[in-house]
Amino acid sequence: MILLGEKDIFIEINRLLEDQGMDLRINDMDELTDFLEEYEADESEASEVYEEIRELYDQLLMGAGMW
C-alpha cells in the first residue's frame, strides 16, 4: 500500500468519484463520513468505489504513521 498524506487522500477519493461519473467532491472528514454513511449499504454506482474510499478513510483515521 502506498502511503498518502491527507491532501493526497482527498485527491484520490475525488478521482475515484470522478472516474465513476459522480458529480460529487469530498473535501473534508465530515463530508467523507457523510458519504460513507450514505452509501454503506447502497447498490448504486457509488458502491463500486465504496470499499476503496473506505480504505482511504481508514488510512486518514489511523494516520500514515500506523501503516
Helical (H) or strand (E) element with 51: helix 47-62
Domain ranges of the chain: 6-62
For the question of whether the overall pTM of this predicted structure is more than 0.85, the answer is no
Q: What is the pLDDT of residue 54?
A: 94
Are the beta carbons of 51 and 27 closer than 8 angstroms?
no
Residue-wise pLDDT for 22-58, tens only, equals 899 999 999 999 999 988 877 665 676 898 999 999 9
What Cα–Cα distance (Å) separates residue 19 from each residue in 14, 27, 50? 8, 17, 13
